């Protein structure tokens, strides 16, 4: 490849990077604490988070657009010389949606279909931020393991209505992710 | 390259189609949207880069004035304009129609109607909800009145047992009470909760194991003393009326409790309300997404536009280059033909008019090549003929510039190698001194533009005087009034000299014959007269007779000598060439005269290292004898004469010559005689025959030399002989010296 072509390519990459950089750093979700416990032979996770939706997202939810937050959880067995061995990976989607007729906000677990109704959006968000007894796996599967648990919350842009996806994709206000919250424990 | 671009185009097209599909069905393609957007952007950038590279290459070609570059640019501009303008217009109108189309979906009346429908639904349900609230409060009051004062605890394990009724402790209404209440009220689920939301007892017609518990916010509202009633969409979207009221307990009986009830809504109302809810929600979602929808469509449309434009521009580049390629080849081929390369053959890549043009060009170059080859053959033939001609031929154009110059002309005129076609012939002649007479003669003749002329011109070339017969003929061209000339030179020096020599020889021979014949009888008669009458006469008469007859005999002898000289002059020259050392020859001659004139001062200034020349030593000695003798005779007192004999090598007419100068200190020659002093019977001496210098000239010319005689500026005269040094003898110096020995 000629030198000028390489320079052009590098310039294009820099421009792209400059465009996407703010998106990579955009984060309005923070997992403040998380822990696991075993109840009724089930490994469950509790997590307390701070979720601050952007004005665009708030406006969208108030306008009836369902917003989905993804819970990604990984359990890995640390190894000394090699990378960690993944033991378990779980994924849960929670959706907040306005119900116009009742003028309430419905927080639903997409996996179980469980719904919790809130009179205000803020209450629904608070409910979402406070996760309790989220079942992950049967405790017997992981008994005695020294593991590292990683948890991440992020807004699922792909779950937005089609016309909103391009906007969300290039807008920092829609790129919400907590980053991985990790802790080690003996199961 | 074309394959790569085609693949890139197809990929981009596919990506755009997927992107469009993602716009319409986010469930299927939503996850790919970002990848598609990135890939489309990258593809477009790749195209832009390709176009940039092509533009840069084209600009470089235009700057370098490469054939076809400007044509490519012109075609490119036309193609791009033809492609981009309609697409841009279409894009603008499509965008406008799109915006208008999307806006038309959102009629104010539709929005108002939906809002009214929603309000109507709420109003319709509101009355029923108020009745249910009142009914639930009545049940709460009923529980309050029937509750024991002590607090009991709920057996939670019992809640997990299968069955629709959980029985609480003794104070709580028994299953039959809650069931009766639920049956009486028509509720689907009736649950008694503690103040902090823990279920104490429940009766449910819904098959859930765990009752539908109220949210924390609802409990907070109840703690504030406000009952709750609302519509709740449960798991399958079915609407229920959720009612929660506080249950007062007797003082000292513990905290308040909460009666939570879920009431069903009639299926028809539920369905209608769900329809209104869905329509309203969808409409408002779309209303919110209206601008986003426009923007997304605009983005996709812009992507399509950019894709169309970059593809069109690249296609324009490709087409322009492809169309311009044969024209560029033709331009290059034409330039090659103009430069003399007739072997140029262009590839015929199509069967259209352009292919026909290229074929015609190839045919033309083949014909020109053949014609040129024929012309070249003819020219070579002409050159060969001209080269073989003994006559010099010079062809000139209308500006008297040399177009053809054969070797004979070059040799005859002794032109150097610089004289070449293209140069002015007159100017070329003027560069050499010996050709000035030729230039002086030809210049007016050429200026007059006469159709034919003939002149005899004498030049002094390296080997002496050269008489040239020049014949000029104009070369009229059929396509121009301008005329060139062809000049043919004939060296007639030998012919003229031969004719003159023959004439003089004939004169001399006749003179010798006519005079010599009567001389002997005259001499004999005089001697007989003396013998016969000397004894008969007296001393005085005898002495007179003796004197007179002696005079006759003496004069007859003198005349015989003259006649013999004539005979010598008339003899055909027979030169026996050998390598002659001129200095040695001069030294011999000078020594001879020194013996005869011991008082005379004969000064020799002989050049050292003089190469031998090819000549007849006897005849050259005769020349030197004659000239030195003349020098002595020209001196006022021959016995005390001062003679200078010198030799040197000089350059004359671009050739080496031996120059011999013999100077005297006499009175010099009369000016009138100088011009023809070498002609026979021309002499300044009273007793001269007038043949001495003629013989000298004859011998020198036999040696291809030149002899001149002129007066010195101060005193006396000087005879100058220039004899050419032949290269061949000089190169074979040793051989010639051996021959001389």
Phi, psi of B418 (to 5 degrees): -70, -25
Residue of chain B with shortest Cα separation from A170: B34
Contacts B216 to A, Cβ<8 Å? 123, 127
Distance (Å, whole) CA B56 – CA B63: 11
Most confident of A55-59, B650-654, B697-701: A55-59
Nearest residue of chain B to residue A120 (CA atoms): B217
Residues of A in contact with B280 (CB under 8 A): 100-101
CA B618 vs CA B512, B574, B589: distances in Å: 24, 11, 11
Which backbone phi and psi does A166 adopt, to 5 degrees?
A: -60, -40
Q: Round to whole Å and give the CA distance between B411 and B286.
A: 106
Q: Provide the chain A residues 167-186 that lie in CB contact (below 8 A) with chain B.
A: 167, 169
Q: Which of B41, B276, B292 minimises the CB distance to A167?
A: B292
Q: Which of B23, B25, B230 sits opposite A102 (nearest CB)?
A: B230
Contact B292 A120 (CB under 8 A): no
Test A118 with B26 for CB contact under 8 angstroms: no
Q: Per-residue DSSP letters for B356-376?
A: HHHHHHHHHHHHHHHHHHHHH
Interface test with B, best of A8, A100, A127 (most B CBs within 10 A): A100
Report, in angstroms and rounded to the nearest whole number, the Rg of chain A calculated over CA atoms: 20
For residue A91, the cross-strand partners are A72
H helix runs in B610-683, sequence order:
617-634, 671-674
Instruction: Tell me if A100 and B121 make a contact (CB, 8 A cut-off).
Output: no
Asked if A158's CB is within 8 angstroms of B33's CB, the reply is: yes
* B396 vs A168: CA distance, rounded Å: 88
Residues in chain B closer than 8 A to A163 (CB atoms): 23, 289, 292-293, 295-297
Question: According to the per-residue pLDDT averaged within each range, which of A91-95, B99-103, B289-293 is highest?
Answer: A91-95
Return the axis-axis angle of helices B69-105 and B267-338, rounded to nearest 10°: 170
How many angstroms separate the CA atoms of A44 and A134, rounded?
Answer: 5
A133 touches chain B (CB under 8 A): no
A5 touches chain B (CB under 8 A): yes
pLDDT at A9 (0 to 100): 67
User: Which two tokens mark B283?
Assistant: 């409409």
Of A26-40, B79-93, B243-257, B415-429, which range is least confident?
B243-257
Please tell me the least confidently modeled range out of A62-76, A106-120, B47-61, B502-516. B502-516
The CA distance from B451 to A132, in Å, is: 125
Distance CA B289, CA A65 (A): 9
Closest CA–CA distance from residue B123 to any residue of chain A (Å):
10
Least Cα separation, residue B220 to chain A (angstroms): 12
- pLDDT beyond 70 at B332: yes
Q: Looking at the partner chain, which of A101, A162, A169 has a beta carbon nearest the beta carbon of B34? A: A169
Confidence of residue B154 (pLDDT cuts 50, 70, 90): very low
Residue of A20, A101, A109 to mutate when probing chain B, most B C-beta within 10 A: A101
* The pair of three-digit structure tokens given for residue B162, joined into one six-digit string: 């299968």
The residue with greater pLDDT, A60 or B729, is A60
H or E segment to which residue A105 belongs: strand A104-109
Residue of B367, B354, B356 lying closest to B325 (CA atoms): B354
The overall average pLDDT reported for chain B is: 80
- Say yes or no for a CB contact (<8 Å) between A118 and B289: no
| Minimum CA–CA partner of A113 in chain B | B235
Give the model confidence (pLDDT) of B674-712 as tens digits.
766 787 766 776 666 677 888 888 888 888 888 888 888
d(CA B706, CA B462): 9
Average pLDDT of the residues in A1-22: 64
Task: Specify the length of chain A in residues.
Answer: 187
Distance from CA of B26 to the nearest CA of A (A): 5
Q: Comparing A14-23, A162-171, B537-546, which segment has the lowest mean pLDDT?
A: A14-23
Number of Cβ within 10 Å of residue A164's Cβ equals: 24
| Facing residue for B292 by CB, picked from A64, A102, A164 | A164
- Cβ-Cβ contacts under 8 Å, A127 against chain B: 215-216
- pLDDT on residue B480: 59
Which of 12-51 (A) contact B at CB < 8 A? Answer: 12, 16
The better pLDDT of the pair B498, A48 is held by A48
Burial B26-37 (b: 16+ CB within 10 A, else e): beebbbbbbebb
Of A101, A117, A160, the CB nearest to B121: A101
Please state the separation of Cα A171 from the chain's center in Å.
Answer: 17
- The full length of chain B comes to 741
Interchain pair B23, A162: CB under 8 A: yes
Taking CB atoms and an 8 Å cutoff, what residues of chain A touch B234?
A: 115
| Cβ count near B452 (within 10 Å) | 9
For the residues of B54-99, what is the DSSP string, one character each?
A: HHHHHHHHHHTT-TTHHHHHHHHHHHHHHHHHHHHHHHHHHHHHHH
Alpha carbon of residue B618 to chain centroid: 69
Tokens matching residue B522: 């005259």
Would you state the pLDDT for residue B733? Answer: 40
Around Cβ B421, how many Cβ atoms within 10 Å? 12
Place of tokens 């013998």: B531
pLDDT value of position B79: 84
Kind of pairing, strands B642-652 and B601-605? parallel
For the ranges B111-115, B331-335, B505-509, which has the lowest average pLDDT? B505-509
Residue scoring higher pLDDT (A145 or A67): A67
Task: Provide the shortest C-alpha distance from residue A118 to chain B (in Å).
Answer: 7
- The C-alpha atoms of residue B646 and residue B665 are separated, in whole angstroms, by 15
How does DSSP classify residue B698? Answer: H
Look up tokens 């008019």; give the residue: B353
Q: Mean pLDDT of all residues in chain A?
A: 84
Bridge partner list, B3: none
The alpha helices in B147-174, defined as continuous H runs, are 156-160
Give me the sign of the Cα torsion angle B34, B36, B37, B39. positive
Chain A residues lying within 8 Å of B242, measured CB to CB? 117
Q: What is the pLDDT of residues A121-153, one digit of tens each?
A: 999 999 999 988 888 888 887 777 788 999 999
The burial of B485, by beta-carbon neighbours within 10 Å (0-12 exposed, 13-18 middle, 19 or more buried), is given as buried
Mean pLDDT of B266-293: 85
Chain B contact set for A159 (CB, 8 A):
26, 30
CB B691 within 8 A of CB B681: yes
Whether B31 shows a pLDDT value over 60: the answer reads: no
Beta strands, E only, B573-630: 578-580, 601-605, 613-615
Q: What is the mean pLDDT of residues A148-177?
A: 86
Q: Is it the case that residue B464 has pLDDT exceeding 50?
A: yes
Rounded Cα distance, B272 and B277, in Å: 8
Contact B216 A127 (CB under 8 A): yes
In chain A, which residues have their Cβ closer than 8 Å to the Cβ of B293?
Answer: 163
Per-residue pLDDT at A150: 93
> Across residues B96-118, what is the average pLDDT?
83
Beta-bridge mates of residue A99: A104
pLDDT at position B166 is: 39
Strand partners, B132: none
H helices of B349-492, where? 353-388, 407-413, 425-430, 436-448
With 80 as the cut, is the pLDDT of residue B398 above it?
Answer: yes
Distance CA B267, CA B32 (A): 40
Going by C-alpha positions, the residue among B552, B526, B410, B424 that lies closest to residue B484 is B424
Q: Give the mean pLDDT of B263-271.
A: 85
Question: Does the distance separating the beta carbons of B30 and A9 come in below 8 Å?
Answer: no
Residue B228: its pLDDT value, please? 87
Continuous segment of H or E residues that includes residue B117: helix B108-146
Q: What is the ipTM of this complex?
A: 0.77
**pLDDT score of A80:** 78
Burial class (CB in 10 A: 0-12, 13-18, 19+), A166: buried
Q: How far is A178 from chain B (nearest CA, A)?
A: 20
A162 shares contact with chain B (CB less than 8 Å):
yes
Contact A115 B299 (CB under 8 A): no
- Looking at residue B470, what is its pLDDT? 92
Q: Which H or E run includes B267? A: helix B267-338
What letter does residue A177 receive in the DSSP assignment? Answer: B
Task: Select the more confidently predicted residue: B170 or B399.
Answer: B399
The Cα-based distances of B25 to A67, B21, B381, B438, B463 in angstroms read 17, 6, 88, 103, 110
Calculate mean pLDDT across residues B38-53.
82
Q: Is A158 on the interface with B (CB under 8 A)?
A: yes
| Average pLDDT for A16-28 | 59
The mean pLDDT of B97-106, rounded to a whole number, is 83
Answer yes or no: are the C-beta atoms of B318 and B329 closer than 8 Å.
no
B300 CB neighbours in chain A (<8 A) are 166
Q: Cβ of A64 and B285 within 8 Å?
A: yes
Asked whether residue A82 carries a pLDDT value surpassing 90, the answer given is no
Residue A34 has pLDDT above 90, yes or no: yes
A-B CB pairs within 8 A amount to: 123
Here the tokens at position A32 are: 């403040």
Per-residue confidence (pLDDT) for residue B253, from 0 to 100:
55
**B391: Cβ–Cβ under 8 A, 6 or more apart, which residues?**
B408, B488, B489, B490
Cβ separation B23–A63 shorter than 8 A: no
- Which tokens in the block code for residue A40? 């009724």
Q: Distance (Å) from the C-alpha of residue A169 to the closest C-alpha of chain B?
A: 7
Please indicate whether, in this complex, the C-beta atoms of B284 and A100 are within 8 angstroms of each other.
yes
CA–CA gap between residue A156 and residue B715 (Å, rounded): 129
Residue B205 confidence class, pLDDT cut points 50, 70, 90: confident
**Chain A residues lying within 8 Å of B30, measured CB to CB:** 158-160, 162, 165
pLDDT at B741 over 70: no
The pTM of this model reads 0.51
How close is the nearest chain B Cα to the Cα of A23, in Å?
13
Tens of pLDDT, residue by residue over B483-511, are 788 999 998 887 886 787 778 777 777 77
Residue A100 has its nearest CB partner, among B53, B277, B297, at B277
Q: What is the pLDDT of residue B218?
A: 80
pLDDT of residue B583: 92
Task: For B314-331, give the secondary structure using H, E and C.
Answer: HHHHHHHHHHHHHHHHHH
B740 in the Ramachandran plot: left (φ > 0), alpha (ψ -120 to 50) or beta?
Answer: alpha
């Amino acid at each position: 490849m000629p030198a000028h072509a390489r320079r052009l390519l590098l310039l294009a990459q820099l421009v792209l990077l400059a465009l996407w950089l703010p998106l990579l750093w955009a984060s309005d979700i923070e997992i403040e604490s998380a822990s696991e416990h075993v109840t009724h032979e089930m490994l469950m996770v509790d997590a307390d988070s701070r979720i601050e939706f952007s004005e665009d997202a708030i406006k969208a939810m108030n306008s009836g657009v369902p917003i989905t937050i993804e819970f990604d959880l990984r359990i890995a067995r640390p190894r000394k010389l090699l990378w960690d061995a993944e033991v378990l990976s779980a994924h849960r989607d929670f959706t907040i949606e306005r119900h116009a007729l009742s003028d309430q906000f419905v927080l639903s677990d997409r996996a179980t279909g469980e719904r919790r109704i809130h009179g205000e959006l803020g209450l629904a968000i608070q409910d979402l931020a406070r996760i309790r007894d989220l079942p992950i796996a049967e405790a017997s599967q992981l008994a005695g393991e020294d593991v590292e648990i990683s948890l991440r919350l992020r807004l699922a842009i792909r779950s937005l209505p089609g016309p909103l996806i391009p906007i969300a994709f290039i807008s920092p206000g829609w790129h919400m992710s907590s980053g991985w919250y990790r802790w080690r424990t003996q199961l | 390259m074309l394959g790569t671009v085609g693949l890139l185009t197809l990929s981009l097209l596919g990506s755009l189609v997927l992107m469009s599909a993602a716009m319409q069905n986010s469930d299927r393609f939503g996850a790919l949207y970002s990848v598609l957007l990135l890939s489309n952007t990258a593809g477009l950038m790749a195209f832009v880069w390709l176009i940039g590279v092509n533009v840069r290459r084209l600009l470089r070609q235009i700057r370098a004035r490469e054939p076809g570059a400007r044509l490519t640019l012109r075609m490119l501009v036309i193609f791009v304009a033809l492609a981009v303008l309609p697409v841009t217009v279409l894009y603008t109108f499509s965008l406008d129609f799109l915006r208008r189309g999307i806006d038309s979906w959102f009629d104010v009346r539709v929005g108002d109607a939906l809002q009214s429908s929603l309000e109507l639904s709420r109003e319709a349900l509101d009355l029923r909800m108020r009745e249910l609230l009142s009914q639930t409060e009545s049940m709460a009051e009923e529980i309050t009145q029937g509750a024991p004062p002590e607090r009991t605890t709920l057996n939670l394990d019992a809640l997990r047992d299968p069955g629709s009724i959980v029985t609480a402790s003794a104070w709580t209404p028994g299953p039959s009470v809650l069931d009766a209440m639920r049956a009486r009220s028509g509720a689907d689920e009736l649950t008694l909760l503690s103040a902090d939301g823990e279920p104490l007892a429940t009766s449910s017609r819904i098959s859930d194991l765990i009752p539908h518990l109220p949210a924390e916010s609802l409990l907070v509202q109840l703690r504030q003393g406000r009952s709750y009633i609302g519509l709740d969409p449960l798991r399958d979207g079915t609407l229920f009326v959720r009612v929660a009221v506080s249950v007062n307990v007797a003082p000292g009986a513990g905290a308040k409790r909460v009666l939570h009830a879920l009431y069903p809504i009639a299926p028809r109302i539920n369905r209608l309300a769900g329809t209104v809810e869905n329509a309203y929600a969808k409409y408002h979602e779309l209303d919110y997404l209206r601008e986003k929808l426009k923007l997304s469509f605009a983005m996709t449309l812009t992507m399509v536009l950019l894709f169309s434009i970059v593809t069109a521009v690249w296609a324009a580049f490709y087409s322009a280059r492809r169309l311009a390629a044969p024209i560029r080849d033709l331009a290059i081929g034409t330039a090659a033909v103009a430069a003399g390369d007739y072997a140029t053959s262009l590839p015929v890549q199509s069967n259209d008019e352009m292919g026909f043009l290229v074929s015609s060009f190839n045919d033309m170059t083949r014909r020109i090549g053949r014609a040129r080859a024929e012309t070249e053959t003819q020219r070579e033939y002409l050159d060969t003929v001209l080269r073989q001609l003994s006559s010099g031929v010079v062809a000139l154009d209308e500006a008297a510039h040399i177009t053809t110059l054969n070797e004979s002309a070059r040799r005859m005129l002794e032109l150097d190698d610089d004289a070449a076609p293209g140069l002015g012939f007159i100017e070329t002649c003027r560069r050499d001194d010996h050709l000035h007479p030729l230039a002086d003669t030809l210049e007016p003749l050429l200026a007059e533009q006469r159709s034919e002329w003939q002149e005899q011109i004498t030049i002094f070339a390296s080997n002496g005087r050269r008489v040239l017969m020049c014949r000029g003929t104009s070369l009229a061209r059929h396509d121009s009034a301008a005329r060139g000339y062809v000049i043919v030179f004939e060296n007639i020096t030998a012919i003229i000299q031969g004719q003159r020599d023959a004439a003089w020889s004939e004169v001399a021979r006749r003179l010798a014959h006519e005079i010599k014949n009567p001389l002997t009888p005259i001499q004999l008669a005089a001697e007989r007269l003396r013998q016969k009458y000397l004894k008969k006469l007296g001393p005085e008469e005898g002495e007179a007779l003796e004197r007179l007859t002696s005079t006759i005999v003496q004069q007859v002898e003198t005349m015989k000598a003259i006649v013999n000289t004539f005979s010598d002059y008339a003899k055909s020259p027979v030169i026996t060439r050998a390598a002659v050392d001129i200095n040695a020859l001069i030294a011999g001659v000078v020594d001879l005269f020194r013996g005869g004139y011991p008082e005379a001062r004969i000064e020799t200034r002989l050049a050292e290292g003089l190469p031998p020349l090819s000549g007849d030593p006897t005849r050259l000695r005769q020349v030197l004898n004659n000239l030195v003798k003349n020098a002595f005779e020209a001196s006022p007192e021959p016995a005390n004469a001062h003679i200078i004999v010198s030799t040197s090598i000089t350059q004359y007419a671009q050739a080496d010559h031996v120059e011999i100068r013999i100077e005297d200190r006499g009175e010099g020659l009369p000016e009138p005689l100088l011009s023809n002093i070498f002609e026979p019977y021309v002499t300044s001496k009273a007793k001269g025959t007038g043949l001495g210098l003629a013989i000298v000239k004859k011998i020198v010319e036999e040696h291809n030399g030149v002899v001149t005689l002129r007066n010195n500026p101060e005193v006396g005269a000087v005879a100058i002989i220039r004899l050419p040094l032949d290269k061949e003898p000089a190169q074979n110096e040793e051989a010639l010296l051996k021959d001389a020995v």
